[in-house]
Homo-oligomer: A and B are copies of this chain.
Amino acid sequence: MPGAKLDPIDRKILAELQADGRMTNVELAKRVGISAPPCLRRVRTLEENGYIRGYHADVDARELGFEVQVFAMVGLVKQAEADLSAFEERCREWPLVRECHMLNGEVDFILKCAAPDLSTFQTFLTEQLTAAENVASVKTSLVIRCAKDEPGVPFEVLEARLSQEP
């Protein structure tokens, strides 16, 4: 049962840093109810054990001139592990592809892409993605608007679960 090695203070630290990753350590310590030194030690441990992968500013893509966001559903011709890995490696090299998830079901991968405008994306779509080796089909959907974009994990759900069956 993962996440069980964390005590309530660790989970509170993760929840607070997920909500505000630039909080000072003393502020964080105050919120979780311990003093600064042990709080910092816990944060370092959480980082080293991979619970915290990093910290990122949440930059507004549209304000920066990335008007186009697209979800692309990709089907491959062959799905042996080597084929899957090869496609994933390609995706890591394409900067327009921000996320690449392998799925079950009829489609093999879903990609989230960001581009400055439609023509940039269509060039990428026709000359790179659809043209890539082993790609059988690509279906794209433009994002009209984004109603919710919460990073990370719903800690409320985790806490409800843990308080229910300890």
Identify the A interface with B (CB < 8 A).
1-4, 6, 14, 17-22, 49-67, 69, 71, 88, 91-92, 95-105, 107, 109-110, 114-116, 120, 139, 141-154, 156-158, 161
Contacts and interface: CB of A to CB of B under 8 A. Distances in A.
Contacts of A161: 116, 120
Which of A19, A95, A101, A107 is packed against the most chain B CB atoms within 10 Å? A101
Contacts of A65: 1-4, 158
Contacts of A50: 60, 63
A106 to B, nearest CB: 8
A45 B104 CA distance: 44
Nearest to A161: B116
A48 B30 CA distance: 26
14 contacts: A2-B64, A2-B65, A17-B56, A22-B22, A52-B57, A58-B152, A61-B152, A88-B148, A91-B147, A95-B154, A97-B148, A100-B148, A103-B143, A105-B142
A154 B103 contact: no
Given A51-B64, A158-B116, A101 B57 contact: no
Give chain A's interface secondary structure class.
Answer: mixed
B51 A95 contact: no
Contacts of A67: 2
Contacts of A149: 98-100
A88 to B, nearest CB: 4
